[in-house]
């Protein structure tokens, strides 16, 4: 018979689905192949990226130094990877991985992940879609709204 005191319950909500999708597209392996590994590291760059995705889709908005706290209340090894402990996911490790991602080039990484996903799920490339909601326009506009000067180079653009 089971003793209720011996049972530990951890809530994972939708995070198992997120972790499963990350695993199915091979993200951890792709990142590890592109970035390599450091001598003596306890957690790979790919697992750190997976942890960042899980954290980001866990609807948590906290500073990086509090990142390990998120994984204290969920089964970290089950979701992120075998042997990955919350304390390994500290802000120093996150920073080093983000630096490596930047140096490798996010376009390169995105392309590798996208191509692997297309191949894995046999996605047709015969048509494409442009999300026009992300278009930016620049220039002068006639408007009845109060005047707000537009900057010509960089900086913030006014939202009308």
* Interval 73-87 mean pLDDT: 90
Residue 145 within any structural domain of the chain? no
pTM, entire model: 0.72
pLDDT for the residue 140? 73
Query: Does position 29 have pLDDT exceeding 70, yes or no?
Result: yes
pLDDT for the residue 63? 79
For residues 149 and 18, give the distance between their C-alpha atoms in angstroms, rounded to a whole number: 43
Higher pLDDT, 103 or 10: 103
pLDDT for the residue 11? 73
Sign of the Cα torsion 64, 72, 36, 92 reads positive
Query: Does position 70 have pLDDT exceeding 90, yes or no?
Result: no
Chain mean pLDDT for the chain: 84
Residue 77 within any structural domain of the chain? yes
Residue 140 within any structural domain of the chain? no
Range of the domain at 84: 10-121
What is the domain count for the chain? 1
């Amino acid at each position: 018979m089971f003793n209720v005191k011996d049972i530990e319950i951890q809530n994972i909500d939708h995070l198992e689905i997120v972790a499963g999708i990350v695993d199915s597209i091979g993200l951890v392996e792709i990142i590890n192949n592109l970035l390599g590994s450091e001598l003596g590291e306890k957690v790979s760059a790919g697992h750190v990226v997976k942890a960042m995705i899980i954290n980001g889709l866990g609807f948590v908005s906290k500073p990086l130094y509090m990142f390990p706290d998120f994984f204290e209340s969920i089964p970290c090894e089950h979701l992120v990877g075998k042997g990955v402990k919350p304390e390994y996911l500290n802000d120093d490790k996150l920073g080093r991985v983000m630096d490596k991602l930047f140096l490798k080039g996010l376009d390169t990484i995105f392309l590798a992940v996208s191509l692997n996903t297309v191949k894995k799920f046999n996605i047709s490339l015969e048509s494409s879609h442009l999300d026009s909601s992300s278009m930016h326009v620049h220039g002068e506009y006639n408007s009845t709204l109060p005047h707000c000067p537009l900057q010509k180079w960089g900086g913030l653009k006014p939202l009308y």
